């Protein structure tokens, strides 16, 4: 069995693709895989590190606002389509799996033209342009959020599977993780993260809470700032009179490699609303305060956050409201109401899809087996 996987540009497209690739290798040990991406996206780094063969094509994204700048991009897309055609003709896959990003377009279109079945995975509640354009030609589209269905053509074959979550996220033991972090039995742990790059607006909005909660033994705060600006932030905290070493209930780090243990131990999470992050916290059944990144393409993070907040699993705070002290207010309200936190946790667990990878693989195998799902 041969499968081509494509998706690139950002981690939101690349990491689900890698999870699917690993799942295929475990379920079908003899499978031959080829990942098609670009030489400039994240995939150029992480795919070879994952031990997968990577082929690249020439393609760039389209400019959505200044459309007159798209002539060179369209020319490169045509070139990429030809390159993808040749790669697929040479590799002869039985199936192509696309997880979005502009590289996915030419590859999946070439597959359609060659008569190779295509399955798409859509991570966000507001689908990306590539997947919307390809939807009517795909054998199936695996959705993370059922809310995305309304933005696809009626004839598209849609299945809500969720988004693959790293096994270590699911397997981390809560009790062992809390002991590892030195948490008391009744102490609430709040994990604050802006993602791998951090989020300055969230970091700044947390300052009033750090000041108010320093030395409060009922609450432990783990704040992940991102590497950029970490030293300056620590200095700012010190200038406010907060000695993190003295109080002991506040931990500030630039990055956490073992986030699975932090999430396993957490009682509340504050962060952005990227699809992968949401899949992880929902699979763990964690209540959250979500602050969507305001510059995400098509504002898709806000659509993701709204889908979670509507179910009662999260509180949504727009980034623009952080300067008004809203985060401090909402966080205090939640920390004072454990009943509400428990209700949010139940709602999150109800939305979580810890078996997303298995469900996606079943879709792939059904498509490979025959014309009908």
Identify whether the C-beta of residue 308 lies closer than 8 Å to the C-beta of residue 273: yes
pLDDT on residue 188: 97
Identify whether the C-beta of residue 124 lies closer than 8 Å to the C-beta of residue 148: yes
Does residue 319 share a domain with residue 203? yes
- The tally of CA atoms less than 13 A away on the side-chain side of residue 33 is 26
pLDDT on residue 64: 56
Q: What contacts 115, CB < 8 A, 6 or more positions away?
A: none
Does residue 296 share a domain with residue 160? no
Evaluate if residue 268 carries a pLDDT over 90: yes
Query: Mean pLDDT, to the nearest integer, of 135-160?
Result: 95
Does residue 315 share a domain with residue 269? yes
What CATH number did the domain enclosing 270 receive?
Answer: 3.40.50.2000
Q: If we measure between CA atoms, which residue out of 66, 62, 89 comes closest to residue 77?
A: 62
Does residue 346 share a domain with residue 358? no
pLDDT on residue 373: 63
Q: Over the stretch 65-109, which tens digit does the pLDDT of each residue have?
A: 565 565 566 667 788 899 999 999 999 999 999 999 889 999 999
- Give how far the C-alpha of residue 113 lies from the chain's centroid of Cα atoms, to the nearest Å: 30
Domain count across the chain: 2
Does residue 178 share a domain with residue 114? no
Query: Which residue range is the domain that position 7 belongs to?
Result: 2-165+354-369
Q: Over the stretch 229-251, which tens digit does the pLDDT of each residue have?
A: 899 999 999 999 998 888 889 99
Q: State whether residue 325 is helix, strand or coil.
A: coil
Identify whether the C-beta of residue 166 lies closer than 8 Å to the C-beta of residue 260: yes
Q: How far apart are CA 345 and CA 308, in angstroms?
A: 12
Bridge-partner residues for 6, per DSSP? 36, 98
Identify whether the C-beta of residue 261 lies closer than 8 Å to the C-beta of residue 253: no
Q: How far apart are CA 352 and CA 144, in angstroms?
A: 10
Does residue 190 share a domain with residue 298? yes
Identify whether the C-beta of residue 166 lies closer than 8 Å to the C-beta of residue 280: yes
Confidence of residue 137 (pLDDT cuts 50, 70, 90): very high
Instruction: Return the minimum-mean-pLDDT range out of 136-145, 189-198, 318-327.
Output: 189-198
Confidence of residue 371 (pLDDT cuts 50, 70, 90): low
Q: Give Cα separations from 161 to 143, 150, 152 (angstroms).
A: 6, 16, 16
């Amino acid at each position: 069995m041969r499968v081509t996987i494509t998706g690139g540009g950002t981690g939101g497209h690349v990491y689900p693709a890698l999870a699917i690739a690993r799942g295929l290798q475990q379920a079908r040990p003899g499978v031959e895989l080829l990942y098609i991406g670009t030489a400039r996206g994240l995939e150029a780094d992480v795919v070879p590190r994952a031990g997968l063969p990577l082929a690249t094509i020439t393609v760039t994204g389209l400019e959505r606002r200044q459309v007159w700048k798209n002539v060179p991009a369209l020319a490169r897309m045509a070139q990429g389509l030809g390159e993808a055609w040749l790669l697929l003709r040479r590799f002869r896959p039985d199936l192509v799996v696309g997880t979005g990003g502009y590289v996915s377009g030419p590859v999946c279109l070439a597959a359609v033209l060659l008569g190779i079945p295509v399955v798409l995975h859509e991570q966000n509640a507001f689908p990306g342009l590539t997947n919307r354009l390809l939807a009517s030609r795909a054998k199936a589209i695996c959705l993370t959020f059922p809310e995305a269905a309304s933005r696809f053509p009626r004839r598209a074959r849609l299945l809500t599977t969720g988004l693959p979550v790293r096994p270590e996220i699911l397997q981390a033991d809560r009790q062992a993780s809390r002991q590892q972090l030195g948490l008391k039995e009744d102490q609430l742990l709040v994990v604050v993260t802006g993602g791998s790059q951090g989020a300055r607006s969230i970091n700044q909005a947390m300052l009033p809470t750090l000041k108010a909660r320093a030395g409060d033994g009922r609450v432990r705060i783990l704040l992940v700032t991102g590497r950029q600006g970490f030293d300056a932030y620590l200095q700012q905290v010190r200038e406010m009179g907060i000695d993190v070493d003295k109080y002991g209930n506040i931990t500030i780090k630039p990055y956490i490699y073992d986030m699975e243990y932090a999430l396993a131990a957490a009682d509340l999470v504050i962060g952005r609303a990227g699809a992968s992050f949401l899949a992880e916290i929902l699979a763990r059944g964690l209540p959250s305060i979500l602050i969507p990144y305001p510059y995400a393409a098509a504002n898709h993070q806000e659509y993701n956050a709204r889908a979670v907040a509507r179910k009662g699993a999260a509180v949504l705070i727009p980034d623009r409201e952080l300067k008004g002290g809203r985060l401090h207010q909402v966080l205090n309200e939640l920390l004072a109401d454990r009943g509400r936190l428990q209700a949010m946790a139940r709602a999150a667990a109800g939305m979580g899809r810890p078996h997303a990878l298995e469900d996606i693989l079943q879709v792939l195998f059904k498509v490979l087996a025959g014309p009908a799902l």
